[in-house]
Structure 1
Amino acid sequence: MRKAAFEKVVPPKDSSFKVFHCKASFASFEGRWHFHPEYEIVYLPSGRGKRFIGTRISRFEDGDLILLGPNIPHNCFNVGFESEEYEEYVIQFNGADIKEMSKYFKEFGDIEHLLIQANTGLTVNSDKKHEIGALIKEMVDLSPIEKLLRLFHVLHQFAQVTYQSLDARQYLALSVTTTERVKDIYKIIQEQYQTNISTRQVANEIGMTESSFCRFFLKNTGKTFKQALTEVRVQNACNLLVNTDNTISNIAFDCGFNSLSLFNRLFKRVVDDTPNSYRQKYVNHLQVSIPKIA
């Protein structure tokens, strides 16, 4: 079974963020279902299709412009693309540094607000997406300093237009006070969510008592470890419901749930839909056509 893969974003040596243009029919990144801590802007100049982001699937027409916050699992955007010629422009950047700048420069206030809203994913449906897209397309050939200044301009323009939320969930929404210890816990969740992982086990792995671990995790993430683990499991179940023809029972157990009834109940709580309805709605009614996972 394919888990959501961690994509390590490596900017060029002379830049603090990454910008690239792709016209390949299949994106080069091996893990189609993936996540990363960087923000991501994706512009598709033309075409129609479906987005697979978090637990949600939504349609776009006449190209697309989206902004994703950190750690939102998503498929590469060529998956679900229905038109003939695929083309994308992508910007991946660390938003924490830009948010920090708003403390010293009031001019970044609207951008800070935009990045906060992007924690659930944003899309622009009006023609403004192509105006912003034109600015993005030019970035590929700019010098590093010009790219940086253009990024600020793109974010400012994005903040001025009407956008809609994609209602996507992060794998684990970490607070500003995130520590290396929380990152270690996050890594354990990603690697072991299919097992019968417990708070005592994780606490032992990171050298804390169980009670101290529970308090620490809740303080730094705003949720219990059990809630975070459930969300990761459900995210991966959504991926399998759409990307495979595995039975719902097998998917439940593959994702770490020890009973089908528990899976159904928690899936409903997180996604606000049943697993069967989710699969039927997004596979049959929308006629989703994407590669099966081997």
Structure 2
Amino acid sequence: MKRKVIPFKIPKSNKEFVRFQVDAAKYFYDKLHQHPEWQLTLIKKGKGHLMVGDYLGRFEPGDMFLFSANMPHVFRSDPEFFDLTSDKFSLGFSLYFDFQVLGKSLLEVEEFSGLLQWKQHTKGCFRVVGETKSKILDSLNDIGEKEGLKRILLALQILNYLQKREDMLLLNKLIPYKDYSETEGKRMGRVMSYILSESRQNISLQEVADIGNLSKEAFCRFFKERTGKTFTEFLTQVRIHQSCQLLQDSDLSVSQIAFQCGFQNLSYFNRAFKKVQGETPKEYRSKLL
């Protein structure tokens, strides 16, 4: 029986190869989801965590990401963006490519052979950098105003830029071999939302297992299979990324940041930080300064 993906539909017609979408709101769509369209996203405003497969990292203004088809992902904005009294705002530009619309016959045209080969061998989430990013930035500013053949030609030009592999940094090492079922997707979405929103508190394994409606043993297997990490490893990584942001944006001391991010022990925070970042919190802050 065919498995259902996490329910998320790109608002478009059934015969649209490329869609340009502007996401403007307090915070980005915060549910773990996947869709058959390829997605290219530029972060214009907003900060937070990007979670895709076994990758957990920060996103900030100016970042550009490419997701191949059916890659479960979520842009989780930082807590302050959910505060309705704040002036924080998020803005993103996205292109969605629906290769299924082109049909098998068109993709088999000789001129499309390079694109087809790239599509077949490219899987995962990538950070787009360098010259490729610069060229795409110019195209993104124009594509929203293009229609018909002009939009398709510009979209194909962007896809051609993305084939420059040295400017495509693969972020996730764990590539899902199957789609999430709808139940799995909803469960993982609830768990991730809870961890990312409550990470500064003392979260127990039993709490997140209850959120997933699983026993602790079943939850540990479920979580490790889908993230490549144990719950403790993932939670620690979330807290370290949050501490990096505070080390960069605040004048709080290292010990204050450690406790604010959920670490109960300063020496453990220092060890965990060095393990994840390859340097101590003080070295990280000094480098920024």
Q: What is the TM-score normalised by the length of structure 1?
A: 0.61
Consecutive unaligned residues of structure 2, counting only runs of 5 or more, are 1-7, 34-38, 51-56, 68-72, 79-90, 108-112
Aligned residues: 232
Q: Which whole-Å CA distance do the structure 2 matches of 1:201 and 1:65 have between them?
A: 33
Consecutive unaligned residues of structure 1, counting only runs of 5 or more, are 1-8, 22-27, 44-51, 58-63, 76-88, 285-294
Equivalent residue, structure 1, for 2:167:
163
Picking from 73, 90, 93, the partner of 1:91 is 93
Q: Does 1:116 align with 2:124?
A: yes
Structural RMSD (CA): 4.4
Equivalent residue, structure 1, for 2:272:
266
Q: Is the 8 A contact 2:20 2:144 kept in 1?
A: no
Residues 201-223 of structure 1: per-residue CA shift (max 9 Å, x gap):
11123221111110111112221
Q: CA deviation at 1:133?
A: 3.9
Matched AA of 1:116: G
Higher mean alpha-carbon deviation, 209-218 vs 147-156, is at 147-156
Q: Do the aligned partners of residues 260 and 152 (structure 1) sit closer, same or farther apart at CA in structure 2, a change above 3 Å counting?
A: farther
Q: CA deviation at 1:225?
A: 1.1
Q: Is the 8 A contact 1:56 1:168 kept in 2?
A: no
Matched AA of 2:284: Y
Q: Do the aligned partners of residues 221 and 146 (structure 1) sit closer, same or farther apart at CA in structure 2, a change above 3 Å counting?
A: farther
Equivalent residue, structure 2, for 1:231:
237
Q: Does 1:205 align with 2:207?
A: no
Q: CA deviation at 1:269?
A: 1.1
Matched AA of 1:67: F
Q: Which whole-Å CA distance do the structure 2 matches of 1:103 and 1:180 have between them?
A: 31
RCO greater where, 1 or 2, for CA within 8 Å and sep 6 or more?
Answer: 2
Q: Does 1:221 align with 2:235?
A: no
Q: Do the aligned partners of residues 163 and 212 (structure 1) sit closer, same or farther apart at CA in structure 2, a change above 3 Å counting?
A: same
Q: What is the TM-score normalised by the length of structure 2?
A: 0.62
Residues 10-39 of structure 1: per-residue CA shift (max 9 Å, x gap):
976668854459xxxxxx75569x998764
**What is the correspondence of 1:12-91 to structure 2 with a 5 Å cutoff?**
17-20=19-22, 30=26, 39-41=40-42, 54=57, 66-67=64-65, 70-71=73-74, 91=93
Q: Is the 8 A contact 1:111 1:156 kept in 2?
A: no
Q: Is the 8 A contact 1:68 1:122 kept in 2?
A: yes
Residues 258-292 of structure 1: per-residue CA shift (max 9 Å, x gap):
1111111111111111111111111x1xxxxxxxx
* Sequence identity (%): 24
